[in-house]
Amino acid sequence: MGRWQPGARERLVMSAVDLFTEQGYDATTVAQIAERAGLTKSTFFRHFPDKRELLVAGQETLSQLLAEGVAEAPAGVSPLEAVAAGLERVSGAMGPMNHAFSSRLKAAVDASAELQERDALKSVGLAAAMTTALIARGVPDATAHLAGELGILAFKRGYAAWSESSSDAPDELTRQTLTALDELRAATAALG
């Protein structure tokens, strides 16, 4: 087994999602995931504490990209414009591999209550990253929380549309996400 080959973490994630989709989350073992990836079980545990954590692979990177985008938005922009900068940063970092993988990941999550729960926790963490970055910009607490939550809702809506899209345009996720943010901005204005 090629346990020292590069890309082990990514191969484990891809193998797990494929197995979760094929046979269900509960029926899939760590040993099966490692075998499908061409790795050892001990290599799996060097990268992940358990199979549930495969879903949040890359969450720290996503949180960092969102926070950096918000922090580096031009001075004086509105909180949602700063959120848009974070969404552009994270969306721009996702490429064709993420697009090809997105529909399989969605199917795996939809089929497992445990993965849905973990996905919800991931969303909370991503929203918190944007909220913290907004507060650091001087945005009042309640406004920062609302903008962070709207940002994550926009990202989820944009990601879902992107995963269903056949477009291979490099900026398609960014376009879908910013469109979703604009729709949410308009919807909040209609709340009164």
State whether 81 and 148 are in the same domain. Answer: yes
Indicate whether 1 belongs to any domain: no
Contact call for residues 2 and 39 (beta carbons, < 8 A): yes
| pLDDT of 4 strictly over 80 | no
Contact call for residues 91 and 177 (beta carbons, < 8 A): yes
State whether 65 and 139 are in the same domain. Answer: yes
State whether 77 and 34 are in the same domain. Answer: no
Closest CA to 52 of 3, 119, 103, 135: 119
User: Integer distance in angstroms from the first to the last C-alpha of the chain?
Assistant: 61
pLDDT tens column, 156-186: 999 999 988 888 788 899 999 999 999 999 9
C-alpha to C-alpha distance for 26 and 24, rounded to whole angstroms: 6
DSSP string, 93-147: T--HHHHHHHHHHHHHHHT-HHHHHHHHHHHHHHHHHHHHHHHHTT--HHHHHHH
Confidence grade of residue 2 (pLDDT, cut at 50, 70, 90): very low
State whether 44 and 102 are in the same domain. Answer: no
Question: What is the pLDDT, as a whole number, of residue 90?
Answer: 93
What count of other Cβ atoms lies within 10 Å of the Cβ of residue 132? Answer: 17
State whether 28 and 98 are in the same domain. Answer: no
Q: Chain-centre distance of CA 75, in angstroms?
A: 27
| Cβ-proximal residues to 185 (8 Å cutoff; 6+ apart), any chain | 80, 150
Question: What is the pLDDT, as a whole number, of residue 30?
Answer: 94
| Cβ-proximal residues to 3 (8 Å cutoff; 6+ apart), any chain | 39, 40, 42, 43
pLDDT tens column, 35-44: 999 999 999 9
Indicate whether 111 belongs to any domain: yes
pTM above 0.85, yes or no: no
Assign residue 32 the CATH number of its domain: 1.10.10.60
Domain housing 14: 8-51
Which of 24-33, 94-103, 181-190 has the weakest average pLDDT?
A: 94-103
State whether 42 and 124 are in the same domain. Answer: no
Question: What is the pLDDT, as a whole number, of residue 1?
Answer: 44
What count of other Cβ atoms lies within 10 Å of the Cβ of residue 118? Answer: 16
Confidence grade of residue 153 (pLDDT, cut at 50, 70, 90): very high
What count of other Cβ atoms lies within 10 Å of the Cβ of residue 91? Answer: 24
| Cβ-proximal residues to 142 (8 Å cutoff; 6+ apart), any chain | none
